[in-house]
Amino acid sequence: MPAYQAPRGTFDVLPGDAAARERVEAAARDLFARYGYGRVETPAFEDTELFERGVGQSTDIVQKEMFTFEDLGGRSLTLRPEGTAPICRAYVEHGMHKLAQPVKLWYLGPFFRHERPQAGRFRQFSQIGAEAIGSDSPLVDAELIILLDELLRGLGVPGLTLKLGSLGSPEARAAYREELVAYLRAHEDDLAEDVRDRIEANPLRAFDAKDEGTRAVMAGAPTVLERLDDADAEHFGAVRRLLDQAGIAYELDGTLVRGLDYYTRTVFAFECERLGAQSEVGGGGRYDRLVEQLGGPATPAAGWAAGVERILLALDQAEQERGLDVFVVAAEDRRDRALALATELRQAGLRADLDLAGRSVTGQMKQADRLGARRALILDGDGARVRDMESGEQRELDAARVVEELGG
Ligand code: HAM
């Protein structure tokens, strides 16, 4: 019988992976407490209709990525692909509009999308998310972005870029869409074939095209940012001012479209350059119509979600790139001394390691290389030498002053 494996696109979290994951979760828990967010948990599955109505019929998520099943009573249920629609459902169901507004909620848990698995893209993944429901103030947008920025930076996620845009109101967006379709039609001859075929179905996709002809056309295309009405432009201006005041750098992106239909006004995404194609670690925006769309009172709201696995991948990359500061290589009779020195170096704040598997000196040098160590500290005879792993240069060290000399 073949051995069982976890389903495609899923993974097991083993004890070795748990510590990093717990560190991310603990950082989130601590931050949310300081920012006044209360924890909320909703079920792993909901009525399918909630996502059809909430996330939007025309989205990839609803059209092809949901794990939908019928229960024994014949009801259609769906494993949640995202958390915002369920939380709005809970907000209405529990009459949270009667509480002081906005209601600030956070969550952490598994989500499910039937996507093509690849690095950073899974069929079951974890999100940490925040939703602030019941205020249209730009202060809310800014506070949410400041919070996510602090979470990612505090954890040490490297190479972050914040992309910021505004989609305006659905009405303004519909008018803009018509304008963009007309623009693409006027330049049809210069567009790639697949873009041309999708002008009506999804004109915004043209902004993501890779071919030069299309890119040249899109460089001159109008963006939704240039078509905001006065109230939306004022709101966006206020969000930008507040981010400037907080010292948070961002890139304006007039073409930022997110894969969910509920967004209005502000949208944003944090990207990490160390991740490949799936570079977005977290993102979100304002969704002023969603609560009403789900049968509640008209209630403005905003939020974001970050992918825990993507954060972990980004941190892992950073760790690997940083490599070791020093690997202690020791002859057989100097192994005890190697451990003592590695401990001292670690206590002095260096990333230090040593052989724990009885390798020969040559084997230890290979191991130092494999671990990306910048230097090897070689203990043989009575002395100590330091070797620069890149240049191969070596020099003698005063055995009593190893830690100072290695920059501890
Ligand atoms: P989203 O952009 O679809 O937004 O997902 C948020 C984050 O979840 C992404 O930035 C990514 O890090 C992670 N993620 C998404 N899909 C996968 C996947 N297949 N594998 C691994 N990680 C993934 C939302 O879900 C919105 N509910 C965010 C929001 C909250 N907007 C307003 N409030």
Q: Where are the domains of the chain?
A: 15-168+228-315, 326-407
Q: How far is the CA of 282 from the centre of ligand 1 (A)?
A: 6
Q: State if pTM tops 0.85.
A: no
pLDDT confidence of residue 33: 98
Closest Cα to atom 8, ligand 1: which residue? 307
Closest Cα to atom 10, ligand 1: which residue? 282
Q: Is 265 left (phi over 0), alpha (psi -120 to 50) or beta?
A: left
User: Which two three-digit tokens encode residue 220?
Assistant: 């001159």
Q: Give CA–CA dist 44/119, Å, rounded.
A: 24
* CA 123 to ligand 1: nearest atom: 19
Q: Give CA–CA dist 201/198, Å, rounded.
A: 5
Residues near 58 by Cβ (< 8 Å), separated by ≥ 6?
261
User: Which two three-digit tokens encode residue 175?
Assistant: 């008018």
Among positive and negative, which fits the CA dihedral 251, 282, 308, 104? positive
Q: How far is the CA of 39 from the centre of ligand 1 (A)?
A: 18
Q: How far is the CA of 290 from the centre of ligand 1 (A)?
A: 17
Q: How far is the CA of 406 from the centre of ligand 1 (A)?
A: 43
pLDDT confidence of residue 408: 58
Give the three-state DSSP class for 76.
Answer: strand
pLDDT confidence of residue 124: 98
* CA 260 to ligand 1: nearest atom: 3
Q: How far is the CA of 269 from the centre of ligand 1 (A)?
A: 10
**267 touches 285 (CB < 8 A):** yes
Closest Cα to atom 22, ligand 1: which residue? 307
From 106, 127, 286, the mutation candidate for ligand 1 (largest count of ligand atoms within 8 A of CB) is: 127
Q: How far is the CA of 127 from the centre of ligand 1 (A)?
A: 7
Q: Give CA–CA dist 255/208, Å, rounded.
A: 9
Q: Give CA–CA dist 148/128, Å, rounded.
A: 10
**365 touches 379 (CB < 8 A):** no
**140 touches 109 (CB < 8 A):** no
Could you tell me which CATH number the domain at 15-168+228-315 has? 3.30.930.10
Could you tell me which CATH number the domain at 326-407 has? 3.40.50.800
Residue with tokens 């070689």: 378
User: Buried b vs exposed e over 34-58: b needs ≥16 C-beta within 10 Å?
Assistant: ebebeebebeebbebebbbbbbbee
User: What is the dihedral angle through the alpha carbons of 83, 84, 85, 87, rounded to the nearest 10 degrees?
Assistant: 80
From 62, 82, 264, the mutation candidate for ligand 1 (largest count of ligand atoms within 8 A of CB) is: 82
**259 touches 204 (CB < 8 A):** no
With a Cβ cut-off of 6 Å, ligand 1 is lined by 82-84, 113, 115, 120-122, 125, 127, 129, 131, 258-260, 280-285, 287, 303-307, 309-310
Q: Give CA–CA dist 209/203, Å, rounded.
A: 11
Q: How far is CA 272 from the centre of its chain?
A: 8
User: Which two three-digit tokens encode residue 246?
Assistant: 């907080």
> What phi and psi values does residue 238 have, to the nearest 5 degrees?
-65, -40
Q: How far is the CA of 330 from the centre of ligand 1 (A)?
A: 48
pLDDT confidence of residue 207: 87
Q: How far is the CA of 305 from the centre of ligand 1 (A)?
A: 6
For the chain, list residues with pLDDT below 70.
Answer: 320, 322, 408
